[in-house]
Amino acid sequence: MMRPIHDLETHLTSERGATIVRPTGVLDVSTFPQLRDTLLKCAADQPDVVIVLMDDLVVGSNHLYSVFVQVWMRTSEWPGVPIMLVAEDRRLHRRLTELPAARFVPVHGSVRKAISAAGSPPQRRRAENWLPALSSASHLSRQFTAEICRRWGVRWLTYDAAAIATEFVENTLQHTDSEPVLRLELRRRLLSVAVADESPRLAVLTERSTDGSLSLGLLVVAQSARAWGCTPTHSGGKVTWAILSIDAPRYELPGEL
C-alpha cells in the first residue's frame, strides 16, 4: 500500500537582512527534499541569516529534523549563512532545544530574538562582474580575479582562483545560453569564487586542456579548493562555487594569466 504524499507550502518574507521561511503543512519523507532545497536556495541568495518558523510545521518523526542539519552542513562552507529555528509555542520550543539538531541549528522563541542572536554578520568583501556570453569572458574573468586578489592582498591565491573562475565561466558558456556572473568574496580567511547563471542544469566539470599548457576541469578545482559545489537559486538558475583558504602556501605566479 502506497504511503500518502502530504502537502508542504513555504512562505518567504524578509526582515532586517534576514530571510524568514514559514513552512506550512507536513514534513515527511516525501516533503523532506522540498524543504531542504527551499532552504538551500534561500541561503544561496546570501541573506544575513535564514530563519525558519516552526509553529505551523507538522513533523512526522524526530529524525526528519535532520533536514536542518543537512542544510547547515551544505551551507557552512558556502555561502556561510547561518540557519536558525523559531518556535513561539513554549512546548515546541522546549522540544526543539532538546533535539540533537539544536547543537548545529539554534532555536529561539521569536524572530526578533533570532535576528538579535545572529548579530552583525561577519565582515565580507564582495566583488561582482557580469560577463558577456562570449569566448572573451574567460580572459575577462582571469583579469578581474587577478585585480581583486591584488586589491584584497591575497595575490598568492590568484593562480588558483583565476583557474577556478575560468573553469566555471567556460562551463556556463559551453552548457548554457546565460551570461555568467562572477562573484568573489573574502570572509573569515576564506576566498570564495562563484559563478551564477540562469540554467537549472547542474554544472558538469570535465577534464580538458586549453592551449596545451593549462589543464583545467574537475581536477584543478578538486585539488585547489577546500570545498566546491553547485547550488540552485530561487530564480531558477544555479551558482557554482569553490572555497580557497587564504592560509594556503604562497608561491610565485607562473607568468601572465
Q: Express each pLDDT in 201-228 by its tens digit.
A: 877 655 555 554 444 566 678 778 888 8
158 three-class SS: helix
* pLDDT score, position 119: 78
* Rounded to 5°, angle at Cα 80 from 183 and 61: 135
Looking at residue 155, the DSSP 8-state letter turns out to be: G
Distance CA 44, CA 47 (A): 8
* pLDDT score, position 76: 86
Q: How far is CA 131 from CA 28, 79, 182, 242, 243, in A?
A: 42, 21, 7, 18, 21
Question: Would the pTM of this model clear 0.75, i.e. be above it?
Answer: yes
- Which residues, listed in sequence order, are joined to residue 22 by a DSSP beta bridge? 11
Q: Is 157 exposed, middle or buried (0-12, 13-18, 19+ CB in 10 A)?
A: buried
* pLDDT score, position 41: 93
- Which residues, listed in sequence order, are joined to residue 242 by a DSSP beta bridge? 193, 228
